[in-house]
Structure 1
Amino acid sequence: MRRTRLTMAAGALAIGALALAGCQSGGGDDGLTIGIKFDQPGLGFQDGTEYTGFDVDVARYVAEKLGYSEDQIEFVEAISANRETMLENGQVDMIFATYSITESRQEVVDFAGPYFVAGQDLLIRSEDAGTITGPESLNGLDLCSVSGSTSAQRVKDEFAEDVNLVEQPGYSQCAQFLLDGSVDAMTTDDIILAGLAAAQGSGNLQVVGNPFSTENYGVGIPEGSELCEDINAAITEMIEDGSWEKAVQANTEGTGYTPSAANPPTVMADCGGVPS
């Protein structure tokens, strides 16, 4: 009898350990682990235990439609260089982090969406509005971008003869250079620029509104994930019920920013391919 009780107790402990291990992994019935940026005001930003931004708003909406309450969501930082690895290793269930859908990335991860169409643009001091209207008006001027970014590379490839490129490690450094007059403009995706302008808050910065590239922001998910169609349905519903528009406005208020004509985006019907 005693041996039977001990055997049953050991079995219960083993089952409990397995259940605990399952709870500690990303996602599942008990929670959803979502990767976001922690350092992009207006998109994905951490302030203590608070998370704000357009990416965060879309992530919360999608999570709710998938059946998860606010207290079941765990936000973790997904820096650009680590996003594919986080998905491949099961560290996150999905990523909302200005994650452009590209063919090379689709070789290792899947995407739902897109939920936003961004374009590379310029952020300028408000006093220069009308003078700096796009990259063609930067002849001889100083332009800041983030080292190693696709935005910086595009400037090198297309405007190197006309623009003095100043590279910095992060967006906040470029914004500060712009504010103190060290550069004439900064460049990256338009909605990132709008978030920076909104965070600055004084009306001293504004987005030019003349994008010269197209970036489809998708929801990164592990390859073969069964969540893709449900995520797409949630994004479509968010667009149709007006929540998408409210989220854009709330996170770019006071910047003069207007999303490009490609927005709201057309969500991929088959959870595959790269949006045209």
Structure 2
Amino acid sequence: MRFLLYSLMALMVLQAPAAAAGTLDKLRQTGVLKVGYREDAAPFSYKSEIGEAVGYSVDLCRTIATRLKADLGLEKLSVDYVPVTTEGRFKAIKDGRIDILCGATTATLSRRELVDFSLPTFISGASVLLRADGPDGMKALSGHKVGVRGGTTTEEALRNTLTKLSVDAEVVTVADHQDGLEQLEKGAVSAYFGDRAILIFLAAGSKSRDILRISEQHFTFEPYALALPLGDSGFRLAVDRTLSRVYRSGAIETLFRSSFGKEAKPTGLLQALYVISTLPE
């Protein structure tokens, strides 16, 4: 009996480090950071024409990788970019296929049951992209079709907004933002609902931009953040430390312009977010 007790205690001691091992330990062992990114969420996270992962959130994660390499004293830390879908992105974190999710991800309480989140990285809000020859706003969309990316907080926001405004419109879910834009361009839908920053980027790159316009209204305010493994406080601290340094130093403005355009500047609301989110050392 005593031998069995000692054996169990020894087994528990041996297993404890493995159970406590987190992402930072894994980085020390493998020298690889697995970054999950969306291929179709420009300007935050997307695949470029030459097949590279690019965007505002991806650039933040590159900065984090550089800082982790230095802080952990690693000779080398390579970054493996792993494409993820809207539906499978959180499962990819839970299953260990990615270490950090760098996309257009809204931090919510329900999602925090599945993953942890970094400090806020952006604040966006749902708005609507319209055709110049169509309805002039959300309240005029009764009897029309409204596109939205399916399975997102934006779809939920659209349905809530239509109900709140008593607008009897048909919601058409699409697979990705480019599909939604194409549906709007050819008139299959009268409006496309999405995060305003993404809508601005879509409209600017559209061949039909002269017939498109974006509503000035914000129907939601959504804080974006980087999603991380649940309960990995050491890794989250390392990520938040880098974000705080980037915000405090002003380097975030350079990063912002590289994704949103040379003349782009963070809005007053976004600048306030950077200031408020920055934590002292």
Provide TM-score, normalisation by structure 1.
0.74
Q: Distance in 2 between matches of 1:237 and 1:108?
A: 27
Are residues 1:237 and 2:245 paired?
yes
Q: Distance in 1 between matches of 2:224 and 2:89?
A: 13
State the Cα distance separating 1:223 from its structure 2 match: 2.0
Identity score, percent: 22
Are residues 1:92 and 2:98 paired?
yes
- Runs (4 or more) in structure 1 with deviation over 4 Å come to 68-71, 256-261
* Alignment map for 1:131-142 (pairs within 5 Å): 132=136, 134-142=137-145
Identify the range of structure 1 (92-101 vs 45-54) with the bigger mean alpha-carbon deviation: 45-54
- SS of equivalent residue, structure 2 residue 151: coil
Are residues 1:180 and 2:186 paired?
yes
Identify the range of structure 1 (65-74 vs 221-230) with the bigger mean alpha-carbon deviation: 65-74
Q: What is aligned with 2:225?
A: 218
Q: What is aligned with 1:152?
A: 155
- SS of equivalent residue, structure 1 residue 80: coil
Q: Which of these residues, 197, 208, 225, is aligned with residue 203 of structure 2?
A: 197
Partners of 1:27 and 1:93 within 8 A in 2: no
Q: Distance in 2 between matches of 1:120 and 1:26?
A: 37
Partners of 1:26 and 1:90 within 8 A in 2: no
1:37-75, Cα deviation, whole Å (9 max, x unpaired): 012231211244412111111111222222279971111
State the Cα distance separating 1:183 from its structure 2 match: 2.5
Partners of 1:113 and 1:235 within 8 A in 2: yes
Q: Counterpart amino acid of 1:136?
A: K
Are residues 1:267 and 2:262 paired?
no
CA RMSD of aligned residues (A): 3.2
State the Cα distance separating 1:248 from its structure 2 match: 3.2
* Alignment map for 1:93-112 (pairs within 5 Å): 93-112=99-118
Higher share in helix: 2
Question: Paired residues, what number?
Answer: 242
1:83-135, Cα deviation, whole Å (9 max, x unpaired): 2222222211111122221122212321111101111111234x469x73x53
Unaligned runs of 5+ in 1: 1-24, 271-276
State the Cα distance separating 1:136 from its structure 2 match: 3.4
Q: What is aligned with 1:165?
A: 171
Unaligned runs of 5+ in 2: 1-24
Provide TM-score, normalisation by structure 2.
0.73
Partners of 2:243 and 2:278 within 8 A in 1: no
Q: Which of these residues, 43, 48, 72, is aligned with residue 78 of structure 2?
A: 72
- SS of equivalent residue, structure 2 residue 270: coil
Partners of 1:43 and 1:53 within 8 A in 2: yes
Q: What is aligned with 1:11?
A: none
